[in-house]
Amino acid sequence: MTLVELQQGEKAYITKVRGIGAFRKRIMEMGFVAGREITVVRKAPLGDPIEYNILGYNVSLRNAEAQLVEVITVQDLKEHISNELPPETIPFVDEKFLENHARKKGKVINIAFVGNPNSGKTSLFNRASGMHERTGNYSGVTIESKEARFFMDGYQINVTDLPGTYSITAYSPEELYVRNYIQEKAPDIVVNVLDASNLERNLYLTTQLIDMDIRIVAALNMYDDMTKNGDSLNHEYLGKLLGMPLVPTVGSKGKGVEDLLKKIIDVYEGKDDTSRHIHISYGKAIELAITKIRETLARPENKHLTARISGRFLAIKLLEKDEEAWNKIELIPNAEEVKEIVHQQISIIEAFIKEDSETIITDAKYGFIAGAVKETYKPAKKRRIRKSDLIDIFFTHRLYAFPIFLLIMWAIFYLTFTLGAYPQEWIENGIALLGGAIDKGMTDNMFKDFLIDGILGGVGGVIVFLPNIVLLYFFISLLEDSGYMARAVFIMDKAMHRIGLHGKSFIPLIMGFGCNVPAIMSARIIESRRDRLITMLITPFMSCGARLPVYILFISAFFENYKGTILFAIYLTGILFAILTALFFKHAFFKKQDVPFVMELPPYRVPTGKSVFKHMWINSAAYIRKIGGVVLIATIIIWALGYFPRKQEFSIDYSTQIAQKETLASTATDPALEAEFLKEADFLRQQMKSEQQLNSYIGKIGRIITPVMTPLGFDWKMTCAIIAGIPAKEVVVGTLGVLFPPDINSSADQSISERIRNQVILSGPDKGKPLFTPLTAISFMLFILIYFPCIGVIATIKKESGRWKYALFEVGYTTVLAWIVSFAVYQLGSLVVG
C-alpha cells in the first residue's frame, strides 16, 4: 500500500520510495527511507495535501507524491511477524525491531530489461532469472513483458523483460509500451542491454533513458563478439561519461550475469560512484527552450505528472513533437500555457537553425554518442570480413535468394513427413495394442465403446501426429535462431510492398506456420496501423500446427508417393491466398500508406541445442495440453452425440440378416463361399453402424447442414468434423476418428488414414464406391486451410485491433471464401475427372 491510503492518525513503516530524479532525492533527504515510522497527522479539508509526522517534525505531501511512497501498517507488520516468531517472543518486540523488519521487508528491487532487438536481452533475462522465455534471432519476438522473481544477497529481485525497441519515441506499440512501463511502474533499476559490437546504434536508446532521469545499469552484451573482431573498449571510462556502470556480459553463455546482478544491488544501495544523472547537451537554443518549458511545467498543481515523469524528458519530447507527450500535457491545468510556450520555442529554434527541431535533437544525441565512443572505443586495425556477409552473398543474392528460400521450405515439409513417419508408426502401433487389449479384456458395453471409439479413436487419432508437430517446430526454431528468418523478411520485402504491405509483415506470416495467435500478436512490430490490420486479417491463411494433423491424415491416405510435395503445395496455397486477399483489401478497404522499411539483419549464429529444445518443448507441451483439454472434451461430446439414442428403428432387420449370413458361412463347405458370407455379414454390420450414426443426434445435426456442403464433396460426417473444428482444428481429426471407427474385423488395429481411405458408400446409386477420393481430400484440406480460424485467433484479432468488427469480419469472409474455393475445386475437378 502507499501513504495516500492511510487514514488520519494511522501509523506505518516506509518500505520503499519510488519516483524519479530530484523528487526522489529530495524526499529521501527529508527522512523518507525504508524502515522509518510515519504517522498521518491530518488531511486538508479537500483531502489534498496530507500532513505527516516523521523524525519528530511535520511535513506536507500532495497525494501525487504520497502515492510514490510504499508503506506497511504497524498492525500488518505485527501480524506478519507473529507468523514468523514463536508466540512467547511477541510481547518483547520493540519499535527498533519493527523498524528493522520493515527495512527488511522493503528489500525488494524491481528491475526492467530494456534494449534493442537482437541485443540478447531476453537471453540475458533468462540467465539472470532462471526463466525459459523463447528467444529468436530477429526483431519482434518479445511481444509483451515477461516477469520473473528470484532472491540474491538478501534481496528479492523482480525482473521484467520489456519488448525490444530501438527508441522510446511514440512511433510503434513496442516503443510506447516500454516508455509507459518505465513511467508508470517506475522500476528501481533499468538494465539497458547493449550489443557491444554495435555500440553507436544501441546507445541512441541509452540517451533517451538518460533524459528520463532514472537509475540505469548497462549490460555490454555479446562482449565476446566485439573482442573476436579485435576491437577494444574502455567500458569503465564510458560508464563515467554516461553516468552509469557498464558490465561486460555474454548472455547466451551466462558470462558476467552474476557481476551484473551485484552491480544492480550496488546501484540500488547507492554504493556505486559511477551512477549519477547527467545532462546531454543539445546546444544553447535547445537548452534554453528546455529550461523555459520546464519552468512552465514545474507548477505545484502539476506534481502528479512531474513526480513520475522527468520534466526535462517531457520538455525534450514536446520539442520533438512527440504525440504521446502532447497527450500527457492535456491533463494538466495549465496545458494551454505549456502548448503556447512549446510552439513559440519550436518556431524560434527552427527559424534560427533552419532545421526541424526533432532533427536537431537527434543530431545532438548522435553527436554525444560519437564523442563518447571516440573517447573509449578502438576498432581493430584490420577489419575482418564477417562470416555473415559471406553467407549473405548467396542467401540474399537476387538470383539465388528465392530458389534457396523455396528449397529450404520444401525440405522442411519433406523431412517433417519422412522423419516423422517412424515415431508416428510407433505411436499408432501402441494405440492399436492398447485398443486390442481393451477389446479382448472387456465385455461389450457402453464404456468399452467409449474407450475404443471415443478416447482411442478421437484423442489417439490426434496424438499420433505429435512427432510431425515437434519436427515442424524444430525446423522453425532453426530458422529463427540461425538468423535466416530475418533474411527471409529482407528477401520478401519488395514482394510485400507490391501487395501493399510492409516487409515486416512477413514475420507474422512465417510465425503463423507455428501458431496464428502469437503470429497475430507479433504484428505489433509493424508501425502502420493499416499494415497491422491487413497482416492480422491474412495471417490465418498461414497453416498453423493445428491444421497439420488434418493435412497429414489425408495426404497419408491418398498421396503416399508425394507427401512432402503436396504438403508444401498446401502451405504455398495459403501464402497465395494471403497475397491475393492483401491485394483486395489494399484496393477495397484501406488507403495506401508508405512506411519506411527498417529491418536489421543480425549475424548468423549456430543455434544452441538448449534453445532449440526449449522451443520444441514449449510448443509440443502446448499441443499436448490442447489434446488433454479442448480435444478430449470435444471428442467425448462428439462420441456421445454419435452414440445416442441407442433405441432406434432400422430400415431393415440387420440382426436377423447378420445371423443368417453367419449361419450360412458356418455350414458352407466351400472356403471361398464361407469367406463371401462372412464378408456380407461384416458389410451388414457396417451398414447397421452407419445407419445408427445417421439417426444419432450428431447425424441429425449433420444432415441439417449437409445440403450446403454436398456440392463440395462432403458427407454429413465430414460436415460435423468441420463444425467441431471451430474451437480448435485438432478436433477435426479427433471427430473423424470417432465417426469413422475401425472396421469390425480389424478392431483397433487400423490407422485412421487406412480407415479414411477404405470408407465406401453404403447405400444409394453409388453404393460400394469409395466415399473419399483424392479430389475430395483436396477439397476438404482447402476448406480446413481457409475457413473460420480457431476461437483463440478471433479473440486475438479483437484484442489487437481493438474492435469486434474486424474479428467478426474474419469469421465471415474466411468461411465464405472457403466454401467458394472448395466448391470450385470439387466441381471443376469432377468435370475433368469425369
Cell digits of residue 746: 480389424
**Mean pLDDT in residue range 676-704:** 78
Q: Could you read off the pLDDT of 235-293 as tens digits, one per residue? A: 999 999 999 999 999 987 889 999 999 999 999 888 888 988 888 989 888 999 999 99
For 478-492, give the DSSP string: HHHHHTHHHHHHHHH
The whole model's pTM is what?
0.64
Res. 26: pLDDT tops 80: no
Query: Per-residue b/e over 608-626, b at no fewer than 16 CB within 10 Å?
Result: eeebbebbbeebbeebeeb
Which of 46-55, 518-527, 609-618, 672-681 shows the lowest per-residue confidence on average (mean pLDDT)?
Answer: 518-527
**Mean pLDDT in residue range 305-315:** 86
Res. 441: pLDDT tops 60: yes
Residue 212 burial class via C-beta count within 10 angstroms: exposed 0-12, middle 13-18, buried 19 and up: buried
Cell digits of residue 453: 471409439
| pLDDT of 92 | 46
Report d(CA 663, CA 261) in Å as an integer: 83
Which of 84-93, 567-576, 638-647, 791-800 shows the lowest per-residue confidence on average (mean pLDDT)?
Answer: 84-93
Greater model confidence, 780 or 503: 780
**Mean pLDDT in residue range 119-133:** 78
| pLDDT of 138 | 44
- 760: DSSP letter: B
Greater model confidence, 522 or 616: 616
C-alpha 537, offset from chain centre: 17
- Give the DSSP H/E element, type plus range, for residue 682: helix 671-694
DSSP SS3 for 702: helix
By C-alpha distance, which of 747, 739, 689 is closest to 714?
739
| pLDDT of 135 | 46
Q: Supply the mean pLDDT for the chain.
A: 81
Q: Could you read off the pLDDT of 571-588 as tens digits, one per residue? A: 889 988 988 888 888 777
Greater model confidence, 486 or 823: 823
**Mean pLDDT in residue range 498-525:** 72
Report d(CA 714, CA 780) in Å as an integer: 8
Q: At 22, is the pLDDT very low, low, confident or very high (cuts 50, 70, 90)? A: low
Res. 80: pLDDT tops 70: no
| pLDDT of 239 | 93
Res. 710: pLDDT tops 50: yes
Q: At 386, is the pLDDT very low, low, confident or very high (cuts 50, 70, 90)? A: low
Q: At 136, is the pLDDT very low, low, confident or very high (cuts 50, 70, 90)? A: very low
By C-alpha distance, which of 736, 745, 730, 741 is closest to 717?
736
Res. 185: pLDDT tops 50: yes
Greater model confidence, 33 or 374: 374
Res. 312: pLDDT tops 50: yes
Q: At 112, is the pLDDT very low, low, confident or very high (cuts 50, 70, 90)? A: very high
Specify the amino acid at residue 528. S
Which of 146-150, 420-424, 683-687 shows the lowest per-residue confidence on average (mean pLDDT)?
Answer: 683-687
| pLDDT of 750 | 65
Q: At 592, is the pLDDT very low, low, confident or very high (cuts 50, 70, 90)? A: low
Task: Say what percent of the chain tops pLDDT 90.
Answer: 16
Q: At 784, is the pLDDT very low, low, confident or very high (cuts 50, 70, 90)? A: very high
Residue 665 burial class via C-beta count within 10 angstroms: exposed 0-12, middle 13-18, buried 19 and up: middle
On whether the CB atoms of residues 250 and 223 are closer than 8 A, the answer is yes
**Mean pLDDT in residue range 114-135:** 77
On whether the CB atoms of residues 180 and 210 are closer than 8 A, the answer is no
Res. 453: pLDDT tops 70: yes
| 534 HSE (CA, 13 A, CB side) | 32
Task: Say what percent of the chain tops pLDDT 70.
Answer: 88
C-alpha 299, offset from chain centre: 42
Res. 177: pLDDT tops 80: yes
| pLDDT of 75 | 74
Q: At 315, is the pLDDT very low, low, confident or very high (cuts 50, 70, 90)? A: very high
Greater model confidence, 523 or 504: 523
Greater model confidence, 669 or 368: 368
Q: Could you read off the pLDDT of 356-380 as tens digits, one per residue? A: 899 899 999 999 998 999 889 888 7
Q: At 131, is the pLDDT very low, low, confident or very high (cuts 50, 70, 90)? A: low
**Mean pLDDT in residue range 786-793:** 83
